[in-house]
Structures are given as structure tokens and as C-alpha cells.
Chains A and B, each alone.
Chain A
Amino acid sequence: SAVISQKPSRDICQRGTSLTIQCQVDSQVTMMFWYRQQPGQSLTLIATANQGSEATYESGFVIDKFPISRPNLTFSTLTVSNMSPEDSSIYLCSVEGGAWYGYTFGSGTRLTVV
């Protein structure tokens, strides 16, 4: 299955600033997914990132707040913009590993906004 390197693993940020999270995959994948996991909660899909096209955002998430880049088939970034304490969460990237491997996840970025 695909191996995903995600960074940073954690960060503490001031409100009003932005943080960019990076995910690098060890193989080429068509789609990459970005999730948010609020404390004690389930995973909520933010957006799907395809290489060469605009990301597709889920209801409740907008590009101005969570801009995504997908410059090639192995890399993607998610930016959390103009942060507030409500953005404190774990952010995870994910890829589909193919029919036999299912979806795998990066190690996550634990973001605390103060």
C-alpha cells in the first residue's frame, strides 16, 4: 500500500495566521483527500484534490479558507488560512491505495490555534 509522509506533525499557531500542511506519497495517485478530525470526533472530508484541476470541496468548506495545491501525482498541500481557535483539529491526508489496499492515511497534523 501507499506510504504517505505528512508534515508538520504538530504546530501551535497564532490566530489570524496561516499554516500549510504537506503530504508526499511514495507512488503516483490520482486523488488525494484531506480530512479534519476535531477532538474526540470522527473524520470529516474537507476536499478531494486531483492533479491538474481545482479541488472539490465538501459542503461547509471553502477554497478561501482551505486552499489546496496538487502540483503533481505524488504531492499535495492544504493551507488553513486566517486561523481561529475553532480550527484546532487534526488534519489528515489520505489516498486510495487501489482495489486491494483501500484508503491509507498520513500520520496527521495536530494544529492548535491560540
Chain B
Amino acid sequence: GENVEQHPSTLSVQEGDSAVIKCTYSDSASNYFPWYKQELGKRPQLIIDIRSNVGEKKDQRIAVTLNKTAKHFSLHITETQPEDSAVYFCAASTTGTASKLTFGTGTRLQVTL
């Protein structure tokens, strides 16, 4: 089955700096890669996703890149703000009737003033 590794487990940045979180996956059949933000006591919220026919996707301060050959994808947050502090999870899945999300281990991002 799919295995998703995520690094780093914790990340502390100063407000205004950029943050990068990296994930690798094992199943070459995976073609959908979402990123979730989970604040304390809340449900995971989808913040951005990318599909395997695209190499990069951007939404305001958030961007995701995908390297299918190397089987890795990354989340980039620019101009970080204190409200970006949360746990971020990457995930991978195939699409179709057998689809299911496999999550990375999570990155706790702390944005300091």
C-alpha cells in the first residue's frame, strides 16, 4: 500500500518568513495530493491540492509543487502569519472507486512574532 513520509515534524519560523514542508510517497499510481491544516481541536481543512498532471499550483500565499519522477511534493507558505500556526498534513491517493487518502505524519508549524 501507499506510504507517505513528511518532514520536518516541527518547524518554527518568524512572521514574514517562508515555510516549506516536504513529503514523499511510494505508490506511483497515486495521482492526487492534498494538503490539510488542522488547528487545535478542529477538523482537518483542505488548503490546497494538486493532481499528477500539474507540476505546480498556487493560491495566494500557498503553493504546492509536485515531482512525479522523484515521488515528492512540497508545500510552500510565503509571508507567514501567526494564524498560519497549526499542524499541516500531506496526503496521497489514487482516484476512482478504490481511492483512499494516506496521510503523512504531520508538521507542527509555529510562526513567531
Question: Which residues of A does B touch, CB under 8 Å?
Answer: 30-31, 33, 41-45, 48, 59, 92, 94, 96, 99, 101-108
Establish whether residues B103 and A43, one from each chain, have CB atoms under 8 Å apart when the complex forms.
yes
A interface majority secondary structure: strand
- Supply 18 further A-B pairs (C-beta < 8 A) apart from A103-B34, A105-B43: A33-B100, A41-B105, A42-B89, A42-B103, A42-B104, A43-B103, A48-B100, A59-B1, A94-B101, A96-B99, A102-B32, A102-B46, A102-B49, A103-B46, A104-B46, A105-B44, A106-B43, A108-B43
Number of residues from B at the complex interface, CB < 8 A: 19
Residues 47-101 of B at the A interface (beta carbon under 8 Å)? 49, 89, 95, 97, 99-101
Known contacts A45-B101, A48-B100, A102-B49, A107 near B43 by CB under 8 Å: yes
Contacts of B32 in A (CB 8 A): 102
